[in-house]
Amino acid sequence: MDKELKGESKSASWGLWAGLLVGGLIGAFLAVWIKQNLNQLAESGLARNQLVERLSKANEILTAWDVLAIPVLILIVLGTHEIGHVLSGLSQGMRFLMLIVGPFGWYTSASGVRFEWNTNLALMGGLAASLPTKEGASLRQQLLVLIAGGPAASLLLAIVAIVIASVSDPRFAAYCIFVAATSLGVFLVTLIPVRVGGFLSDGLQFIDVLKGGSAAIDRGTLLHIFAQSLGGIRPRDWDSSAVEKLANLDCDEPLLRACGLMYLLAQAMDSRHDADIAKYGRWLEDSVDAYPSGFKQSVHVELAICAWLAGDLDAIKRHLKASQGGIVEKSRRLLAQAALAKLEGREEDCERDRLLAIKLLPKASDAGQSKLTEDQLEMLQSRT
């Protein structure tokens, strides 16, 4: 699933890693400057400043073993930024969808929030997603607050860390300054309005939503359909007027168009319109590169299922190979794997994956899509 669009994900891994790099450079510069100018600081009286005093002492007691604390400190910085997005969204009445911090991941599902280990390196930098619950001007306000929550949390963490450093022992003060520097770097970098690898930075997303226009309307349409699907409405029963808007979607944002095609393909599959399945599958395959790394795998799973419906064995293999890793609904991947086994005559493997997919359906995050998956699993059992 494309969490960035469906839930208006408010951070990009590249931005957080770049922010950590900038913050690390700030911290390293500060440490070198204090060490080289300690005498001048003493003469000016600044050495009696509590923070400067603790940092100068930390320079004497820190060892190579202290490097082991860095991964934990980085997780604190990343987690604070992403939790800032989540909490700001919840404060506006939004629905939590997903939170990834390093190797840890929490996802909403029909049975509640579930934890899963994140093994995708492209997403280790962190990601957060929430679903807006309002429309019009209120939707715009929800999105703006959600986007701003991450950078605001990073800035707040930097300030708090500096305050704590001034009253802590030298070693812990050094840790706090590292957190402050890296969090400040994340704050600065995520505000830069850029797009990298399909992701939009917080700054660019804020500007995009602030401008309003057709992009905001298109997002509203996508979110409206996603909310219906999360509520258990299967694709063929989605709001017909919203589906029609998707079919006529004409925007400059490639990620929006690709996400719209995902919905249209699901609706065509559930309605069993072979011509539309082939058409939207072909268009989606042309748009798959618009998806960020970590999410395009879910597109390849859907294309593998399309290939199964068309009886194209080679295409199923190709798309399943491209779908490895990433954030993918497990029941959908198992459906595609079972379909491949079916076409290859591996009946036992097919039945094993099919039954496992059925077992995982209650844990799926999208209740509406799960109904489509359930039907396709039954179809797989009887189809030759």
> Tens digits of per-residue pLDDT, 15-39?
566 666 666 676 666 656 555 655 5
Of 13 and 262, the one with more pLDDT: 262
Whether residue 383 lies inside any domain: the answer is no
Instruction: Please indicate, yes or no, whether residues 203 and 218 belong to a single structural domain of this protein.
Output: no
For residue 153, which of 99, 95, 195 has the smallest C-alpha distance?
A: 99
**Scanning the structure block, which residue is given the tokens 């794997």?**
337
Is the pLDDT at 4 greater than 50? The verdict is: no
pLDDT confidence band for 321 (50 / 70 / 90): very high
Asked whether the beta carbons of 186 and 20 are under 8 A apart, the reply is: yes
Domain edge (last residue) among 207, 227, 245: 207
Same domain for 195 and 225? no
pLDDT at 372 over 80: yes
CB atoms within 10 A of CB 362: 12
48 and 150 inside one domain: yes
**Quick check: 9 pLDDT over 50?**
no
Identify whether residues 46 and 181 lie together within a single domain.
Answer: yes
Q: Which of 50-54, 60-64, 199-203, 231-235 has the lowest mean pLDDT?
A: 50-54
Q: Do 226 and 325 belong to one domain?
A: yes
Residue 343's alpha-carbon distances to 159, 299, 306, 309, 337, in angstroms, are 59, 21, 13, 10, 10
Q: What is the predicted pLDDT for the residue at 371?
A: 94
Q: Which region among 19-33, 293-307, 328-342 has the lowest average model confidence (pLDDT)?
A: 19-33
β-bridge mates for residue 129, sequence order: 98
Residue 175 has pLDDT above 50, yes or no: yes
Percent of the chain with pLDDT over 90: 35
Same-domain check for residues 303 and 317: yes
Question: How many structural domains are present in the chain?
Answer: 2
My answer on whether 138 and 271 are in the same domain is no
CA-nearest of 322, 283, 315, 317 to 300 is 322
| Domain shared by 43 and 170, yes or no | yes
pLDDT at 340 over 60: yes
Decide if 384 is inside a domain.
Answer: no
Does 107 lie in the same domain as 60?
yes
CA–CA dist 95, 15 (Å, integer): 24
Residue listed under structure tokens 């962190």: 126
Q: Is 294 helix (H, G, I), strand (E, B) or coil?
A: coil
Same domain assignment for residues 184 and 219: no
Q: Where among 154, 187, 207 does a domain terminate?
A: 207
Domain boundary among 207, 225, 257: 207
Strands (E), the chain: 95-101, 104-109, 112-117, 127-131, 195-196, 199-200
* Structure token digits, residue 340: 């491949």
- Residue 194, classed as helix, strand or coil, is coil
Q: What is the mean pLDDT of residues 334-340?
A: 96
CA distance 128 to 126: 7
| Higher per-residue pLDDT: 254 or 312 | 312
Q: Is the pLDDT of residue 156 over 70?
A: yes
pLDDT of the residue at 2: 37
- pLDDT tens digit string along 89-114? 999 998 888 898 888 988 887 667 88
Residue 248: the pLDDT is 81
Q: Is 208 helix (H, G, I), strand (E, B) or coil?
A: helix
Burial class (CB in 10 A: 0-12, 13-18, 19+), 56: middle
Q: Residue 356: is its pLDDT beyond 90?
A: yes
- What per-residue confidence (pLDDT) applies to 363? 82
How far apart (Å, rounded) are the C-alpha atoms in residues 228 and 266? 13
Percent of the chain predicted with pLDDT > 70? 79
- Domain of 51 in residue numbering reads as 3-207
